[in-house]
Amino acid sequence: MRGARYVASPNCDARPAGTAVTLLVIHAISLPPGEYGGDAIERLFTNRLDPRAHPYFKAIRGLKVSSHFLIRRDGELVQFVPLGKRAWHAGASRWRGRERCNDFSVGVELEGAEDAPFASAQYLRLQNLIRTLRLRDIAAHSDVAPGRKTDPGAHFDWARLLRHLAALR
């Protein structure tokens, strides 16, 4: 993706043949939880997170996950998985009657926590990314994995995002 810093994640595979990408899933992540900056998210998505670096990292040791994109607090866009491949971001999931959302979605992680507001730079980058990808179906991780996931959380400003997207039409 133009304008993104690319960091290759091994945590991806081929999408099922003939599957169109129709959904964008919004996530929130901070590592350690509630802390921003640093390279822990990149290390997690590239299987290089040192479990000795923080007590929380022991709990997620061996986790094999990724996302197509990460939007940092300052708006920096980092890409981990090519759009033509399936990133491992949604897990057990369902959207509008379809199982396995990873098959037909793009995952976007926002650096943040569910109990805190996201930065203006992140909304601007997300809006631009959605416009570039031309995906109209957008869901929260909590929407595709209810009862299992709660991100991006109550502090994500859906009204702000939807106002911008409506202006694009």
Is there a contact between 106 and 133 (Cβ–Cβ < 8 Å)? yes
Could you report the per-residue pLDDT of 19-32, keeping only the tens digit for each?
999 999 999 999 99
Q: Phi and psi dihedrals of 160, rounded to 5? A: -60, -50
Q: Which two tokens stand for residue 21?
A: 């990408």
Q: Which two tokens stand for residue 12?
A: 């991806």
Mean pLDDT of 135-162: 96
pLDDT at 165 (0 to 100): 83
Could you report the per-residue pLDDT of 38-93, keeping only the tens digit for each?
999 999 999 999 999 999 999 999 999 999 999 999 999 999 999 999 999 999 99
Question: Of residues 169 and 100, which shows the higher confidence score?
Answer: 100
pLDDT at 164 (0 to 100): 85
ω into 10 cis (within 30 of 0): no
Is 40 exposed, middle or buried (CB count within 10 Å of its CB: 0-12, 13-18, 19+)? buried
Name which of 14, 24, 17, 13 is nearest 101 in CA terms: 24
For residue 169, is pLDDT > 70? no
**Average per-residue pLDDT in the chain?**
96
Domains in the chain, CATH or no CATH each: 5-168 (3.40.80.10)
| Residues annotated as part of the active site | 109
Amino acid at residue number 11: N
**Spatial distance between the Cα atoms of 156 and 66, rounded to a whole number of angstroms:** 21
For residue 168, is pLDDT > 80? no
Question: Of residues 167 and 98, which shows the higher confidence score?
Answer: 98
